[in-house]
Amino acid sequence: MMQLVLEMEGYQVLTAVDGKAALEVFDSQSPELVLLDVKLPDIDGYTVCRRIRTFSQVPIIMITAKGEVEEKTQGLDAGADDYVIKPFSVRELTARIKAVLRRTRFWGEEPQPVCHSGDLVIDFAQHMVTLDGKEIGLSATERRLLYYLARYAGKVVTPDQILEVVWGEQHIGEHHVLRVNIARLRKKLGDDSKKPKFIATRVGIGYEFLKPG
């Protein structure tokens, strides 16, 4: 049914019956977007997502029957760009697809210089973040979050501004998801929220990527 609906919207749709087949289709066809169910017969959706992320930044939307924060966070942490919770309407699904494609093209089209903050180096063009000369393994969501904060270094951005750009406008208000990802990003950067070197919390306002002083 999803295939029929999306084809009626003008999309060319490829399908796979399980995780192994999905990886084979992805490798041979190079799709522009992936809709990935969490529950698959062999390899679960999170694992498939992580495997795709090892060699591609293609937008991925997870499809799940679970709506708990932990499930959402797990999918985003695996590298998904968005998630849709069953049951969902045709309008919601197509809106999410258009939003993710639009957001992905925005990130890809806007060139950025290399950002230096002490021993932290963010190379936007090469999709590489290093600390003390060593590359940091970030999920796709953590990378976009860091890029967005660094882009506005020295300025405070609100939680909803971050959520709209990094996750999409439908996630505005989900501040708990943002807090979880900020905490994970800080941990990977070795940043202390009480004495931050990179990301500071401005209580009641938002977050600020600190310019090197």
CATH of the domain at 195: 1.10.10.10
What's the structural domain count of the chain?
2
In what order do the strands lie in the sheet containing 115-117? Answer: 115-117, 120-123, 128-131, 134-135
Q: Does the bond joining 87 to the residue before it have cis omega, within 30 degrees of 0?
A: yes
Say whether both 32 and 82 belong to one domain.
Answer: yes
Say whether both 16 and 53 belong to one domain.
Answer: yes
Span 169-191, average pLDDT: 91
Name residue, tokens 């969902």: 88
Structural domain range at position 56: 2-109
Question: What is the tens place of the pLDDT at every residue in 75-118?
Answer: 777 888 888 888 888 888 898 898 888 777 655 555 567 888 98
Say whether both 103 and 163 belong to one domain.
Answer: no
Residue among 50, 76, 55 nearest 166 (CA)? 76
Is 57 within 8 Å of 49 (Cβ atoms)? no
Say whether both 16 and 102 belong to one domain.
Answer: yes
Say whether both 39 and 95 belong to one domain.
Answer: yes
Question: What is the tens place of the pLDDT at every residue in 148-166?
Answer: 899 889 999 999 999 988 8
